[in-house]
Structures are given as C-alpha cells and as structure tokens.
C-alpha cells in the first residue's frame, strides 16, 4: 500500500495473485457522478481470453474461444463477433431500481443481440453503434440518451479487465440514514446477547471502530476494484482517491 501526498492523495492497494507480477500503472478511477455503481469490461475479447487462460488450468476445454462460443450461442452470435476487437460493455446502476447496460455492438450483428434481449423480456434499442438494454421500457429512451456519456467516461480507455467503480463518499451521504439504522440494530442485537456491563463496553468499542471506518469511507471520493486475468493468473488492483 502506498500513500502519495499532493493536493489530493491517491491510495492504491495492489494484490497480485500471480507467480511473477509487474507493478501496475495507477490511474484515477472512472466514476460517473450520476451512478451508484458501474461495472465495465472495456475490452471484452481480451478479458475473455484472459479468463480462458485461467479456466483451462481447471478444465482444459474452457479456453477463451470455448467461452465465447458458449456465451455467443445464447444470443445467436457464436464467437461474440458483434463485439469488434477492443470493444466492450458497461453496466450502470443509478439507484437500486434503475440500471442499464451499454454494449458496443457492430451494426451488422446488433439484431441478434436486440432480439436476444427482447426474448428475455428486456427493453433494448440500438443507436449510434451502442446497444442499450434495461428492464423498464419507460426508461429506455432516457438511458439511450445517457449511453454516449457512458461510452466516453467508462469505455474510452481499453483494458482486458473487469472494473467496478463507485463513489463511497456519495453513497454514505445518500444512504446515511440507512447506515445509522443498521448500526443501531447491530448495537441492539449485541445488547440483547450480553449482560448490561459487558454489553455497554462492547457496544462502545464497536461503535468507535465503525465510526472510524465510516469516516475513512466518507473521505474516499472515487473507488475502483479491477480484476485482470492474464497468463493463467488474476491480478487484483484497488484504487481509492480521497475527497
């Protein structure tokens, strides 16, 4: 873990599940202001090839090509050829009830994916090289309008990895009341299990620890978890940028 001080500091934790790892280049996480959480695979073929390099060590038949064939058979596009090399997709959750996916699909293959989505009772629309899929058809046009921004903010930098990003500070503000309620329920549960003197002591320590943890989370403006499968191993990188 390295702490770099400047006008703003970046805290990065890199855990390598590899036999021989190289230092990762630390970049500021791509976080959408409008979203609670985003999940991005900006280079789908590269990511699946990496997953295959790990999977074949368990099952020799699970190569990247085999995985693509299996996934592609679900939408009628064997090999996922609708995703050109270096293209990918992103899932955006605005709130627990509103989320959508944006996929960079070639025009000649978009019909396969559109029909597959509709066959799963999902709303789908293709526009400007982007297929937008969501659960609520009434929100589809709104999400289609947001799709170019999603592509620019989340898919412009390509990497064969899965990235999950959010703003912990914003989430703690948005769900502050729920967090407080959850903590109170936890403390009540502890008190019901222990006698008065012991319960008071345990609750005091527990509350202090949770308050410190919460204060740290509130200082994290942008957080990203990145999983990169490569050469038969998986690298896990975490990056947090302070407020």
In a domain, 186, yes or no: yes
CA distance 3 to 6: 10
Residue 27 lies in a domain: no
pLDDT of residue 4: 39
**CA distances from residue 61 to 45, 64, 78, 174 in whole angstroms, order as listed:** 17, 9, 16, 46
What phi, psi does 21 have (nearest 5°)?
-115, 155
| Same domain (yes/no): 194, 218 | yes
Residue 118 belongs to some domain of the structure: yes
Angle value at C-alpha 70, between 67 and 74, nearest 5 degrees: 140
Tell whether 124 and 198 lie within a shared domain: no
Last residue of a domain, one of 122, 137, 164: 164
171 with 215, same domain: the answer is yes
- Which stretches of the chain score pLDDT less than 70? 1-26, 243
Residues 62 and 139 in one domain: yes
pLDDT of residue 181: 92
175 and 236 inside one domain: yes
Cα separation, 175 vs 109, whole angstroms? 41
Dig out the tokens for 127 from the structure: 């526009």
The total domain count for the chain is 2
What is d(CA 209, CA 204) in angstroms, rounded to the nearest whole number? 9
Does 171 share its domain with 160? no
* Residue finishing a domain among 143, 164, 185: 164
- Please give the pLDDT value at position 155: 95
Q: Are residues 89 and 129 in the same domain?
A: yes
Chain segment 61-70, per-residue pLDDT in tens: 999 999 999 9
Looking at residue 96, its pLDDT comes to: 86
Q: What is the pTM of this model?
A: 0.79
Q: Are residues 139 and 193 in the same domain?
A: no
β partners of residue 32:
none
- The contacts of residue 114 (CB under 8 Å, 6+ apart) are 124, 125, 126, 131
Does residue 45 form part of some domain?
A: yes
- Joined together, the tokens standing for residue 93 give 């959750």
Residue 151: which domain range? 34-164
Residue 110 lies in a domain: yes
Instruction: Tell me, yes or no, whether 24 lies in a domain.
Output: no
Q: Can you give the pLDDT at residue 22?
A: 46
Q: Is residue 28 part of a domain?
A: no
Domain check: are 13 and 119 in the same one? no
Q: Whose CA is closest to 42, among 155, 187, 181?
A: 155
Q: Is 201 found in the same domain as 113?
A: no
Considering the domain architecture, whether residues 178 and 152 belong to the same structural domain is answered as no
Task: Give 213-219 contacts, CB < 8 A, sequence gap 24+.
Answer: 214/172, 214/179, 217/168, 217/169, 217/172, 218/168, 218/169, 218/172, 218/173, 218/243, 219/169, 219/243
Residues 177, 160 share a domain: no
8 - beta bridge partners? Answer: none
For residue 65, tell me if it sits in a domain.
yes
Strands (E), the chain: 2-4, 10-17, 37-41, 89-95, 98-104, 123-127, 130-134, 162-166, 220-230, 233-242
214-241 tens-digit pLDDT:
898 888 989 999 999 988 899 999 998 8
pLDDT for res 9: 32
Single residue among 129, 149, 164 that ends a domain in this structure: 164
Looking at residue 125, what is its pLDDT? 98
């Amino acid at each position: 873990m390295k702490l770099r001080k400047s006008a703003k500091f970046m805290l990065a934790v890199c855990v390598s599940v590899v036999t021989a790892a190289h230092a990762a280049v630390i970049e500021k996480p791509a976080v959408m202001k409008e979203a609670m959480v985003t999940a991005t695979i900006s280079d789908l073929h590269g990511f699946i090839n990496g997953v295959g390099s790990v999977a074949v060590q368990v099952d020799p038949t699970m190569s990247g090509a085999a995985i693509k064939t299996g996934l592609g058979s679900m939408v009628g596009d064997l090999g996922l050829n609708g995703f050109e090399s270096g293209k990918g997709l992103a899932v955006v959750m605005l709130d627990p009830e509103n989320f959508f996916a944006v996929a960079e699909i070639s025009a000649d293959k978009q019909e396969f994916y559109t029909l597959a989505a509709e066959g799963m009772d999902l709303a789908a629309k293709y526009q400007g090289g982007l297929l937008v899929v969501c659960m609520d058809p009434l929100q589809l046009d709104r999400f289609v309008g947001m799709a170019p921004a999603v592509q620019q903010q989340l898919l412009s930098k390509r990497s064969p990895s899965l990235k999950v990003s959010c703003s912990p500070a914003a989430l703690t503000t948005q769900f502050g009341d729920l967090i407080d309620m959850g903590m109170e329920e936890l403390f009540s549960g502890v008190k019901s299990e222990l006698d008065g003197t012991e319960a008071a002591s345990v609750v005091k320590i527990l509350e202090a620890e949770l308050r410190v943890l919460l204060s740290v989370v509130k200082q994290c403006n942008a957080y990203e978890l990145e999983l990169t499968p490569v050469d038969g191993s998986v690298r896990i990188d975490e990056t947090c940028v302070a407020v």
